[in-house]
Amino acid sequence: MSESLETTAMEERQEQLRELTEFTENCKEKLNHILESLGWSLDYKQELMEQCPYDSHHRVPARSLEKHKASCSLRKMGYSAEEENTSKKTSPQKVLLSENTDTPNDIAGT
């Protein structure tokens, strides 16, 4: 019966691992909260964050700022992220259907 014992131990480990992951996630959240209240960011330590010229709420890593500016300016002109990512233009209906990624209510809300 050593086999069932092994699987039990394995499950126990996975359970512990899950709890540990949850715990670290909680810690990260708390840490982020503290850093946020101080006006700091964890990313700041890793790389310089630049403010998007099109939207003052956007903070993007300096190395991807050019890329972001390109997509952000397109979005400001009314293009969706999907339209910009797919080189061939899809029908407006299809774009509307897939517009539920990271910008909620951008089109559907109005």
Residues in contact with Zn ion by CB under 5 A are: 52, 54-55, 58, 72
Query: Cβ of residue 66: shortest distance to Zn ion, in angstroms?
Result: 12
Beta carbons of 84 and 69 less than 8 angstroms apart: no
Q: Which is nearer to Zn ion, 18 or 76 (CB)?
A: 76
CB of 107 to Zn ion, least distance (A): 17
Provide, rounded to whole angstroms, the least separation between the CB of residue 59 and Zn ion: 9
Per the CB < 8 A criterion, the answer to whether 99 and 107 are in contact is: yes
Closest CB to Zn ion among residues 54, 82: 54
Nearest CB to Zn ion, comparing residues 72 and 81: 72
> What is the per-residue burial (b if ≥16 Cβ within 10 Å, else e) of 8-32?
eeeeeeeeeeeeeeeeeeeeeeeee
What is d(CA 17, CA 13) in angstroms, rounded to the nearest whole number? Answer: 6
Which residue number, 20 or 62, has a Cβ lying nearer to Zn ion? 62
Q: Which two tokens stand for residue 60?
A: 């993007």
CB of 11 to Zn ion, least distance (A): 45
